[in-house]
């Protein structure tokens, strides 16, 4: 019988929901499970309700799913909000000092700080958090040793006493759960011969940036983008990256443009409203042909919207932001491994084509932890696309060339002067009002799209290659759609997923070819209006038969997508 | 000393008699005097008549957008501290549109020079009030007179421990050249405001008006630019008498020194190689 188990850990912000999730998820991943961890939180520092979900399976996982098999309740509210999601084999583990009322029909295991950690009264949080981790392993018949090792590692810098408390509470939690009957067991799952990774989308992109030679990153904190900035910043001292926290997003992008003009590989990022502020300098990067990678991590708008939730609502904004026409590239990874590869690709594309390259992510992608194999993170090739050797004649930063890419030199590396201007300019970079030059220079810039599109594809397919039913999606929807397709196939309905991760310039020919055999097209998007659908129609004339859309701020689940297909399938 | 012709740029498009001519000449003389080769200098500008300044020079040039000279210059400087970076802005550009960047630059103390061309008016857009326009002055957009107090930018800079604060005037080009030299040579963030008459849109703050008011602060007996309170008093003085010269000096650690990545030399000279297995190690 295949293992597929959903654990939900809920409580108020500050109660330690993450302190349970992280060691538990990692221990179970090391024990051979495929783990997928999601976060659901509110825009507050203390209180409120937040929960994490850990889905475990003995097969590769691409998506979270609905339902709960094991509910870990740190407060009463968690029980009230989530007990109805429990499956028939479900169980509640609860903090007995906080939870006083339980539904009588559901088996439950009480954890009390007094019995978990009698030697340290007043350390209830450590007791319950470590105790809950131990209890889960006890219920699932998983050895305790790896968790204890991980807790020792995690709390080493807090002193021997704290390590000891964690170990004792985890051990007692493990023992207390041992006698409790539970309908799930991981006894048959053993550590994989090759170690796996547990990594979030933004963490993987940070690694992609570092592997891709990143030297400069600037940003202003904003959820959900911040986790990428943090992931780079934590590694910056080791890898010689300059990290600047800017006074606002306008400064952030101009800092990165200045660093990139001078020659540092540069990255900037933001979310929603922050990108509104960056739009001004987006055109500056474009007209000065300064390479720049911009991460826009989406959350539901308009305006402040739902700050900590997820949506794919900024595709149209990013495609068209800025005054005038100029070339750009837009990429949207679907998995951490894709995020890693596309980040490295974005840095190369920006340098080689001297233009802004976007990476679109969202809160679900940013925070969700996926299990990957290390082989999915290969060595990265760095292509700076710089001109070398002495310039023939007088150097012109914006010399006309057949592909629109002018030889790029860096200030301070020779006698050539690098002149860049936000005004329309002559090939030597100086401002001009010669209207014929304007047309030539505009054509030069826009002409890059012809070559750039040749480097894009990014189509991932899954399911039956010639199934009449095709679900089209992009970015972080990959996992839920892939699982929905797998479930359709398992239920006898031939189906196929076509996922796009490279959206602009739109690889129209490749997409049209990929869809040529489909009889019924369904767009699956996390926004209210079908933004990719509009792009698909605009670029290929292909119109979907049905749209499955979601814009309530919570991520897609395979179940939601399947419900959206009722009447179509 | 390098020949001044080295810095010759495009033909200017300023109005005849514009205060900017004196600034351009004094700036070139200062560069020549300091032996700064064009290939070692980056001038960043924004929008306005000051924005055109680097086009009339010969050097690395980044003519960006309105108000954003400081972040571009800061990014450039962090990427390559071998370059001398001068940010040129106008009063509207730096004190209005880019005000937040000025506040941040005062805190950062990156080693670059900010020159603010202050003509107390928006000239390129034809005569509206700028953040430094005198209160009460009637303009096309403020026919009843400007209701706001002018920004005391130098006093703001002193109050925030700006590393170097000075003021020059187009009416005293010899003094201005010295100030350019000092500002550019200063180690740390230097704010040099230059009074620059607009002959077309500002009929109040004219050459004559400035000549009658401007004096050299170093002629004040015992004036000490490292005395913060005294500097603050001088920075606030703008009316019947207007001080020019080095108003304030306050040596501080550089932003560049806070970035461990720069200890190994300029970023642009480094060739980062990161081992993928080392990167992945945290996630097993």
Q: Which of A178, A211, A241 is the last residue of a domain?
A: A178
The answer to whether A561 and A471 are in contact (CB under 8 A) is yes
Alpha helix (H) residue ranges in A371-492: 435-454, 478-490
**Inter-chain contact A198–B283, Cβ cutoff 8 Å?**
yes
- Given CB atoms, is B281 within the 8 Å cutoff of chain A? no
- Collect all residues of chain B within an 8 Å Cβ-Cβ radius of residue A261: 62, 72, 75-76
Tokens 């978990």 sit on residue = A116
Q: How many residues does chain B have?
A: 284
Sheet holding A356-362, edge to edge: A242-245, A216-219, A266-270, A292-298, A356-362, A329-331, A502-504
Q: Are A174 and A222 found together in one domain?
A: no
Q: Are A158 and A83 found together in one domain?
A: yes
**Inter-chain contact B75–A207, Cβ cutoff 8 Å?**
no
Positive or negative: CA dihedral A153, A159, A161, A166: negative
Name the A residues in 5-34 with CB < 8 Å from any B CB.
30
The answer to whether A28 and A56 are in contact (CB under 8 A) is yes
Half-sphere exposure (Cβ direction) of A235: Cα atoms closer than 13 Å: 26
Q: Give residue A567's pLDDT.
A: 86
Name the minimum distance, in Å, from the CA of A566 to any CA of chain B: 40
**Inter-chain contact A430–B10, Cβ cutoff 8 Å?**
yes
- Collect all residues of chain B within an 8 Å Cβ-Cβ radius of residue A416: 39
- Collect all residues of chain B within an 8 Å Cβ-Cβ radius of residue A213: 272, 274
Q: Give residue A21's pLDDT.
A: 93
Report yes or no for ipTM above 0.85. Answer: yes
Q: Give residue A44's pLDDT.
A: 79
Q: Are A140 and A10 found together in one domain?
A: yes
Rounded to the nearest integer, the mean pLDDT of chain B is 96
Q: Are A158 and A237 found together in one domain?
A: no
| Alpha-carbon gap, residue A29 to A323, rounded angstroms | 48
What is the 8-class DSSP label of residue B46?
Answer: -
- pLDDT tens for residues A337-381? 999 999 999 999 999 999 999 999 999 999 999 999 999 999 999
Provide the domain limits for residue A354.
Answer: 198-376
**Inter-chain contact A415–B39, Cβ cutoff 8 Å?**
yes
DSSP states of B180-213? HHHHHHSSS-EEEEEE---TTT-SSS-HHHHHHH
pLDDT means over runs of 10, chain A (569 residues) = 93 90 95 95 83 96 96 96 96 96 95 93 90 97 95 92 95 95 93 95 98 98 98 96 98 98 98 97 98 98 97 98 98 98 98 98 97 96 91 93 96 96 98 97 98 97 96 98 98 98 97 96 98 98 98 97 93
Name the B residues in 174-193 with CB < 8 Å from any A CB.
none
- Collect all residues of chain B within an 8 Å Cβ-Cβ radius of residue A411: 39, 42, 60, 76, 80, 83
What is the 8-class DSSP label of residue B96?
Answer: I
Q: Is residue A469 a part of any domain in this protein?
A: yes
Q: Are A173 and A223 found together in one domain?
A: no
- Collect all residues of chain B within an 8 Å Cβ-Cβ radius of residue A196: 284
Q: Are A131 and A164 found together in one domain?
A: yes
Q: Are A351 and A208 found together in one domain?
A: yes
Q: Is residue A398 a part of any domain in this protein?
A: no
- Given CB atoms, is B79 within the 8 Å cutoff of chain A? yes
**Inter-chain contact B280–A377, Cβ cutoff 8 Å?**
yes
Sheet holding A520-525, edge to edge: A459-463, A495-500, A469-474, A520-525, A546-549
Q: Are A12 and A137 found together in one domain?
A: yes
Q: Which of A147, A178, A209 is the last residue of a domain?
A: A178
Query: Which of A304, A349, A342 is closest to A455 using CA atoms?
Result: A349
Q: Give residue A42's pLDDT.
A: 82
- pLDDT tens for residues B215-259? 999 999 999 999 999 999 999 999 999 999 999 999 999 999 999
Provide the domain limits for residue B191.
Answer: 4-283
Name the minimum distance, in Å, from the CA of A501 to any CA of chain B: 23
Query: In this structure, what is the dihedral angle of CA atoms A227, A228, A229, A234, given to the nearest 10 degrees?
Result: 80
Q: Is residue A231 a part of any domain in this protein?
A: yes
Q: Give residue A2's pLDDT.
A: 86
> With 0-12 CB in 10 A as exposed, 13-18 as middle and 19+ as buried, what is B153?
buried
Q: Give residue A43's pLDDT.
A: 80
- Collect all residues of chain B within an 8 Å Cβ-Cβ radius of residue A417: 38-39, 58-61
**Best residue in B72, B97, B254, B256 to probe A by mutation, most A CBs within 10 Å?**
B72
DSSP states of A99-144? -----TTS-EEEE-HHHH-GGGTT-HHHHHHHHHHHHHHHHHT--S
| Alpha-carbon gap, residue B23 to A186, rounded angstroms | 77
Q: Give residue B141's pLDDT.
A: 93
Query: In this structure, what is the dihedral angle of CA atoms A139, A145, A151, A152, given to the nearest 10 degrees?
Result: 160
Q: How many domains does chain A have?
A: 3
pLDDT mean over B100-107: 98
Q: How many domains does chain B have?
A: 1
The answer to whether A208 and A340 are in contact (CB under 8 A) is yes
Interacting residues of A171 by C-beta distance below 8 A, sequence separation 6+: A134, A144, A148
Q: Is residue A528 a part of any domain in this protein?
A: yes
- pLDDT tens for residues A480-534? 999 999 999 999 999 999 999 999 999 999 999 999 999 999 999 999 999 999 9
Q: How many residues does chain A have?
A: 569
The answer to whether B123 and B198 are in contact (CB under 8 A) is yes
Q: Which of A347, A376, A405 is the last residue of a domain?
A: A376
Which contiguous run of DSSP H or E holds residue A28? helix A17-30
- pLDDT tens for residues A88-98? 999 999 999 99
- Given CB atoms, is B74 within the 8 Å cutoff of chain A? yes
For the cut 90, the answer to whether the pLDDT of residue B1 exceeds it is: yes
Q: Are A294 and A153 found together in one domain?
A: no
SS3 state of residue A438 = helix
The percentage of residues in chain B with a pLDDT greater than 70, rounded to a whole number, is 100
For the cut 90, the answer to whether the pLDDT of residue B123 exceeds it is: no
- Collect all residues of chain A within an 8 Å Cβ-Cβ radius of residue B10: 430
How many Cβ atoms sit within 10 Å of the Cβ of residue A178? Answer: 14
Would you state the structure tokens that stand for residue A416, as one six-digit string?
């050539």
Q: Is residue A381 a part of any domain in this protein?
A: no
- Collect all residues of chain A within an 8 Å Cβ-Cβ radius of residue B39: 411-412, 414-417
How many Cβ atoms sit within 10 Å of the Cβ of residue A334? Answer: 25
Q: What is the CATH number of the domain that holds A510?
A: 3.40.50.920
For the cut 90, the answer to whether the pLDDT of residue B76 exceeds it is: yes
pLDDT mean over B70-75: 98
Q: What is the CATH number of the domain that holds B217?
A: 3.40.50.970
A395: nearest CA partner in chain B: B60
Q: Are A225 and A334 found together in one domain?
A: yes
Q: What is the CATH number of the domain that holds A319?
A: 3.40.50.970
Q: Are A174 and A212 found together in one domain?
A: no
């Amino acid at each position: 019988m295949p293992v597929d188990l959903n654990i939900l850990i809920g409580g108020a912000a500050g109660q330690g929901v993450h302190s349970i999730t992280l060691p538990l998820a990692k221990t179970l991943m090391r024990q051979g499970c495929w783990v997928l961890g999601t976060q659901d939180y509110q825009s507050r520092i203390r209180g409120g309700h937040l929960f994490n979900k850990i889905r475990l399976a003995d097969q590769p996982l691409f998506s979270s799913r609905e339902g709960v098999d094991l509910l870990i309740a740190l407060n009463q509210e968690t029980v009230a909000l989530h007990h109805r999601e429990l499956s028939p084999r479900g169980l509640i583990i609860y903090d007995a000092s906080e939870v006083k009322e339980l539904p009588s029909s559901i088996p439950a295991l009480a954890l009390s700080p007094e019995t978990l950690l009698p030697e340290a009264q007043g350390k209830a949080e450590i007791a319950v958090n470590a105790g809950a981790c131990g209890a889960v392993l006890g219920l699932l018949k998983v050895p305790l040793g790896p968790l204890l090792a991980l807790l020792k590692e995690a709390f080493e810098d807090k002193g021997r006493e704290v390590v000891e408390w964690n170990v004792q509470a985890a051990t007692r939690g493990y023992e207390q759960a041992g006698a409790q009957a539970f309908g799930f067991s991981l006894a048959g799952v053993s550590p994989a011969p090759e170690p796996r990774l547990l990594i979030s989308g933004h963490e993987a992109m940070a690694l992609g940036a570092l592997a891709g030679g990143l030297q400069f990153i600037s940003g202003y904190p904003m959820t959900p983008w911040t986790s990428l900035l943090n992931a780079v910043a934590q590694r910056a001292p080791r890898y010689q990256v300059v990290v600047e926290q800017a006074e606002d997003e306008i400064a952030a992008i101009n800092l990165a443009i200045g660093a990139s003009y001078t020659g540092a590989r540069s990255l900037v990022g933001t979310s929603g409203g922050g990108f509104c502020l960056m739009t001004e300098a987006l055109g500056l990067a474009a007209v000065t042909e300064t390479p720049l990678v911009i991460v826009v991590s989406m959350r539901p708008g308009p305006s402040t919207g739902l700050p900590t939730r997820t949506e794919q609502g900024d595709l149209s904004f990013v495609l068209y932001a800025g005054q005038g026409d100029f070339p750009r590239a837009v990429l949207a990874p679907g998995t951490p491994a894709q995020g890693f590869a596309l980040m490295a690709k974005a840095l190369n594309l920006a340098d080689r084509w001297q233009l802004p390259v976007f990476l679109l992510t969202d809160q679900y992608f940013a925070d969700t932890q996926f299990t990957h194999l290390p082989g999915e993170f290969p060595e990265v090739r760095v292509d700076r696309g710089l001109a070398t050797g002495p310039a023939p004649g007088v150097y012109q930063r914006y010399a006309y060339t057949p592909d629109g890419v002018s030889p790029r030199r860096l200030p301070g590396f020779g006698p050539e002067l690098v002149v860049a201007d936000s005004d329309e300019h002559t090939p030597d970079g100086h401002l001009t009002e010669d209207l014929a030059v304007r047309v030539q220079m505009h054509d030069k810039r826009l002409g890059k799209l012809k070559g750039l599109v040749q480097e894009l594809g990014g189509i991932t397919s899954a399911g039956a290659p010639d199934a009449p039913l095709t679900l089209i999606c992009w970015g972080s929807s990959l996992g839920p759609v892939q699982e929905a397709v797998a479930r359709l196939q398992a239920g006898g309905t031939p189906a196929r997923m076509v996922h796009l991760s490279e959206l602009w310039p739109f690889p129209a020919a490749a997409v049209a070819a990929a869809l040529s055999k489909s009889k019924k097209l369904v767009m699956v998007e996390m926004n209210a209006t079908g933004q990719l659908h509009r792009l698909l129609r605009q670029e290929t004339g292909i119109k979907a038969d049905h749209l499955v859309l979601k814009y309530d701020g919570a991520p897609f689940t395979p179940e939601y997508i399947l419900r959206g297909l009722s009447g179509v399938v | 000393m390098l020949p001044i012709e080295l810095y010759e740029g495009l033909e200017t498009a300023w109005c005849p008699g514009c205060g900017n001519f004196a600034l351009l000449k004094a700036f070139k003389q200062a560069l020549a005097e300091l032996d700064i080769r064009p290939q070692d200098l980056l001038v960043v500008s924004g929008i306005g008549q000051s924005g055109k300044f680097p086009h009339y020079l010969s050097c690395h040039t980044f003519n960006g957008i309105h108000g954003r000279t400081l972040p571009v210059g800061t990014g450039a400087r962090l990427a390559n501290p071998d370059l001398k970076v001068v940010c040129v802005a106008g009063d509207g550009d730096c004190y209005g549109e880019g005000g937040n960047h000025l506040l941040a630059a005062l805190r950062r103390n990156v080693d670059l020079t900010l020159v603010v061309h202050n003509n107390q008016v928006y000239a390129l857009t034809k005569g509206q009030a700028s953040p430094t326009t005198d209160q009460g002055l009637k303009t096309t957009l403020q026919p009843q007179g400007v209701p706001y107090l002018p920004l005391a930018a130098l006093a703001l800079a002193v109050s925030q421990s700006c590393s170097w604060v000075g003021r020059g005037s187009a009416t005293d080009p010899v003094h201005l050249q010295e100030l350019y030299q000092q500002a550019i040579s200063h180690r740390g963030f230097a704010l040099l405001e230059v009074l620059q008459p607009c002959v077309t849109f500002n009929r109040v703050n004219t050459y004559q008006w400035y000549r009658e008011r401007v004096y050299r602060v170093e002629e004040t007996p015992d004036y000490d630019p490292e005395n913060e309170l005294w500097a603050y008093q001088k920075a606030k003085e703008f009316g019947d008498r207007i001080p020019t010269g080095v108003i304030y000096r306050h040596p501080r650690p550089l932003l560049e020194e806070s970035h461990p990545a720069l200890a190994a030399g300029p970023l642009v000279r480094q060739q980062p190689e990161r081992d993928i297995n080392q990167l992945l190690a945290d996630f097993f």
